[in-house]
Amino acid sequence: MSVGAYSERPAAKSGEKDGFSVPWSRPRPKPRRAVSARLVSAITILVLLAAWTVAASLQLVSPVFLPSPAAVWAKFVVVARDGFVDATLLQHLFASLWRVFAALIAAIVVGVPVGLAIGISRIGRGVFDPLLEFLRPIPPLAYLPLIIIWFGIGEPSKILVIAIAMLAPVALSTAAGVRGVSRERVDAARSLGATRAQVIRHVVLPSALPSILTGLRIALGAGWSTLVAAELVAATRGLGFMIQSAAQFLVTDVVVMGILVIAIIAFALEFIIRRIERVLVPWAGRE
Amino acid sequence: MTHLTLDKVSVHYDGQPAPAVERVSLDIAKDDFVVLVGRSGCGKTSLLNVAAGLVEPVGGLAAVGGRPITGPGSDRAVVFQNDALFPWLTARENVAFALRLRGVPADKRARRADGLLSLVKLGDAGDKRIWELSGGMRQRVGLARALAAEPEFLLLDEPLGALDALTRERMQTTLLDLWAAAHVGVLMVTHGIEEALVLATRIVVLAPGPGHVVRTFETHFGRRYAAGEPIRAIKADPAFAAARAELTDAIFEGEAA
């Protein structure tokens, strides 16, 4: 074929100036219109909802075991307005949120200094590391009875159970963040005249902040899933308590509704803390 | 005049079979620009860290103005190859860091930081975040931050090592300008032979196994730039090429081909 063949090619499309087509001048092939993962997720949820509706309306399963989505929604409206076991949904929700946040604050107050001690001192690591490794894998339901024996059935016990579940993720993430601080950063601060305390305050803690926030996110998840266990004993309010008492009377629509509310709140908390991360540590991942 | 002196300093790291540096002596006056060059493993960075007070020598004495060095201090500010800046602070806050440690009031330290930023030609970048700056700009912020501590000596550990060739060349003159403006003694470690010649008033060539001084060159190219001669003219001078050949020979002397 003659060289002239190039000019006989059809008019240049984008990236084929003068009819030339060399690999590096061609535009990258656009990926085929990919179905977004979000769309797939939305469809999955809709399909499940439809299956649930069909199963409930055909009475494939007794409503005692599987109430219809409509019944759950109706119950949601009723409980939100009139309440269930002496408290409205909002009151249950706030009772639970208060416990989780009180526990989170306790876990931060104890966990961040403990993590710092593990990260910066050999003695701190020797003391706290085995304790945390011992505590971490124990399910909250296992130590709940002991805590009740020690601290009674009041509010402090409930908060303590949740806080213990949150402690390990907060402390271990803090320790990991502290150990990850770059040596040069610390040396630079010391050569600018920083004392040991100033290095910790002005260099180590801010450097570890992204890791600490990740720890808080994990802790919040752990605490939220410990909630029902904590509200098993002598609670009069709370989402976990609401589900428990509804189950005892086989009010399954309240049980399902409670589970959904817990899931939605957990999702919202995760979303909020990711937002906070973006504001507080905008440099994470950009260094 | 204050001198930074290393007197027969030896460095031996824990767990290493051989010392990293053996009996090296250096003397840096406040208007010197001393550059350490040599092959990998010759102990350049170890010596710089001894001067910084970050590494304790096993033998010999390191001192500033006759006082033994017992740890890091703001009289000897260090700039590392990777900028080691603080990403949670703006460029201005980074520069003002040493002043904040000393409790200088906010408005005063901001003014001083802005002055230093314009000295490194970043006068309008004060509010920028570190990740918004290029490699060369970051390194200039690092230099300004070191100067804010009002050190008597600047210790530069391959400060231009991570930069591209063109930025590097531009930063060399920036370094000379700063050195002239700030009246500090400089101890710098580099891999760049031409860089050493452009910048130094004295080049100390080290060789490994364990690190020791093989030769010392007094050079004048940096002072010629300080006196107003353009950097390109200096580099084009046949004397420069001759010095480069001689320095290269000294660095690779004794190395098995």
Three-state SS sequence of chain A: CCCCHHHHCCCCCCCCHHHCCCCCCCCCCCCCCCCCHHHHHHHHHHHHHHHHHHHHHCCCCCCCCCCCHHHHHHHHHHHHHHCECCECHHHHHHHHHHHHHHHHHHHHHHHHHHHHHHHHCHHHHHHHHHHHHHHCCCCHHHHHHHHHHHHCCCHHHHHHHHHHHHHHHHHHHHHHHHHCCCHHHHHHHHHCCCCHHHHHHHHHHHHHHHHHHHHHHHHHHHHHHHHHHHCCCCCCCCHHHHHHHHHHCCCHHHHHHHHHHHHHHHHHHHHHHHHHHHHHCCCCCCC
Task: Please tell me the CATH superfamily of domain B3-75+152-252, with its number.
Answer: P-loop containing nucleotide triphosphate hydrolases (3.40.50.300)
Task: Please give the pLDDT value at position A106.
Answer: 96
pLDDT over 60 at A24, yes or no: no
pLDDT bucket at A206, cuts 50 / 70 / 90: very high
Please give the residue of chain B at the shortest CA–CA distance from A192. Answer: B74
Please give the residue of chain A at the shortest CA–CA distance from B135. Answer: A287
Query: Measured between beta carbons, which residues in chain A are less than 8 angstroms from residue B76?
Result: 191
Please give the angle made by the CA atoms of B203, B207 and B213, to the nearest 5 degrees: 55
**Of A159, A192, A218, the residue nearest B89 (C-alpha):** A192
Instruction: Give the number of residues written for chain B.
Output: 257
pLDDT digits (tens, 9 = 90+) for B173-202: 889 988 988 889 999 999 889 999 999 999
Task: Please give the pLDDT value at position A32.
Answer: 63
- Does the CA dihedral B207-B212-B218-B224 come out positive or negative? positive
Please give the angle made by the CA atoms of B256, B248 and B222, to the nearest 5 degrees: 155
3-state DSSP assignment of residue B92: helix
Closest-CA distance of chain B to residue A254, Å: 47
Backbone angles phi, psi at B54, to 5 degrees: -90, -20
- Report whether B248 contacts B193 (CB < 8 A): yes
Residue with tokens 């003219």: B233
The pLDDT of A102-106, averaged and rounded, is: 95
User: Where do the domains of chain A lie?
Assistant: 5-57, 69-280
Whether residue B97 and residue A287 make contact (CB cut-off 8 A), yes or no, is: no
Cis? peptide before B210, omega within 30° of 0:
yes
pLDDT digits (tens, 9 = 90+) for B119-129: 888 888 889 99
Mean predicted lDDT score pLDDT of chain B: 90
Query: Measured between beta carbons, which residues in chain A are less than 8 angstroms from residue B100?
Result: 202
Which tokens in the block code for residue A287? 């260094």
CA separation for the pair A58, B115 (Å, rounded): 79
pLDDT bucket at A268, cuts 50 / 70 / 90: very high
Closest-CA distance of chain A to residue B98, Å: 5
Task: Please give the pLDDT value at position A187.
Answer: 92
CA separation for the pair B43, B55 (Å, rounded): 12
Task: Please give the pLDDT value at position A17.
Answer: 46
The pLDDT of A89-112, averaged and rounded, is: 94
Residue with tokens 């179905």: A35
Task: Please give the pLDDT value at position A23.
Answer: 53
pLDDT bucket at B112, cuts 50 / 70 / 90: very high
Task: Please give the pLDDT value at position A31.
Answer: 59
Mean predicted lDDT score pLDDT of chain A: 86
The pLDDT of B162-168, averaged and rounded, is: 86
Q: Express as a percent the part of chain A with pLDDT over 70.
A: 87
pLDDT over 70 at B146, yes or no: yes
Whether residue A192 and residue B146 make contact (CB cut-off 8 A), yes or no, is: yes
Closest-CA distance of chain A to residue B141, Å: 13
Task: Please give the pLDDT value at position A231.
Answer: 87
**Which residues does A1 contact at the CB level (< 8 Å), separation at least 6?**
none
pLDDT over 50 at A157, yes or no: yes
Task: Please give the pLDDT value at position A4.
Answer: 42
pLDDT over 70 at B104, yes or no: yes
Mutate to test the interface with B, among A191, A198, A203 (most CBs of B within 10 A): A191
Q: What radius of gyration do chain B's Cα atoms show?
A: 18
Q: Which residues of A8-23 are buried (b: 16+ CB within 10 A; e: fewer)?
A: eeeeeeeebeeeeeee
CA separation for the pair B175, B181 (Å, rounded): 10
pLDDT over 50 at A5, yes or no: no
The pLDDT of A190-215, averaged and rounded, is: 93
CA separation for the pair A245, B180 (Å, rounded): 80
Query: Measured between beta carbons, which residues in chain B are less than 8 angstroms from residue A287?
Result: 87, 130-131
Query: Measured between beta carbons, which residues in chain B are less than 8 angstroms from residue A195?
Result: 101
Task: Please give the pLDDT value at position A10.
Answer: 46
Please give the residue of chain B at the shortest CA–CA distance from A286. Answer: B131
pLDDT bucket at A124, cuts 50 / 70 / 90: very high
CA separation for the pair A283, A212 (Å, rounded): 14
pLDDT over 80 at A22, yes or no: no
Query: Measured between beta carbons, which residues in chain B are less than 8 angstroms from residue A190?
Result: 54, 71-72
pLDDT bucket at A40, cuts 50 / 70 / 90: very high
Q: Which residues of A41-57 are buried (b: 16+ CB within 10 A; e: fewer)?
A: eeeeeeeeeeebeeebe
Residue B257 burial (CB < 10 Å; 0-12/13-18/19+)?
A: exposed
pTM confidence score: 0.81
Q: Which residues of A109-118 are buried (b: 16+ CB within 10 A; e: fewer)?
A: ebbbebbbbb
Query: Measured between beta carbons, which residues in chain B are less than 8 angstroms from residue A185?
Result: 84, 86
pLDDT over 60 at A255, yes or no: yes
Task: Please give the pLDDT value at position A25.
Answer: 54
pLDDT digits (tens, 9 = 90+) for B14-39: 888 888 888 899 999 988 999 999 88
The pLDDT of A136-152, averaged and rounded, is: 89
CA separation for the pair A190, A207 (Å, rounded): 15
CA separation for the pair A246, A249 (Å, rounded): 5
How far the first Cα of chain A sits from its last, in Å, is 53
Task: Please tell me the CATH superfamily of domain A69-280, with its number.
Answer: MetI-like (1.10.3720.10)
pLDDT over 90 at A166, yes or no: yes
The pLDDT of A106-112, averaged and rounded, is: 96
**Of A227, A237, A132, A136, the residue nearest A175 (C-alpha):** A132
Closest-CA distance of chain B to residue A179, Å: 16
Whether residue A191 and residue B73 make contact (CB cut-off 8 A), yes or no, is: yes
Which tokens in the block code for residue A190? 């010391």
pLDDT over 80 at A2, yes or no: no
pLDDT digits (tens, 9 = 90+) for B219-244: 988 888 888 888 888 999 999 999 99
Task: Please give the pLDDT value at position A11.
Answer: 45
Task: Please give the pLDDT value at position A1.
Answer: 41
DSSP string, B29-89: ETT-EEEEEESTTSSHHHHHHHHHTSS--SEEEEEETTEEP-S--TTEEEE-SS----TTS
DSSP string, B151-210: -SEEEEESTTTTS-HHHHHHHHHHHHHHHHHHT-EEEEE-S-HHHHHHH-SEEEEEETTT
pLDDT bucket at A21, cuts 50 / 70 / 90: low
Residue with tokens 């976990």: A240
Q: Express as a percent the part of chain B with pLDDT over 90.
A: 54
Tally the C-alpha atoms within 13 A of residue A222's C-alpha that lie toward its C-beta.
Answer: 25
Q: Which residues of A touch B (CB under 8 A)?
A: 182, 184-185, 187-195, 198, 202-203, 206, 209, 281-283, 286-287
CA separation for the pair B39, B23 (Å, rounded): 18
pLDDT digits (tens, 9 = 90+) for B37-88: 988 888 899 999 999 999 999 988 999 988 999 999 889 999 988 778 999 9
Interface predicted TM-score (ipTM):
0.87
Task: Please give the pLDDT value at position A7.
Answer: 44
Of A77-86, A266-275, B248-257, give the lowest mean pLDDT range.
B248-257
Q: Which residues pair with A28 in a beta bridge?
A: none
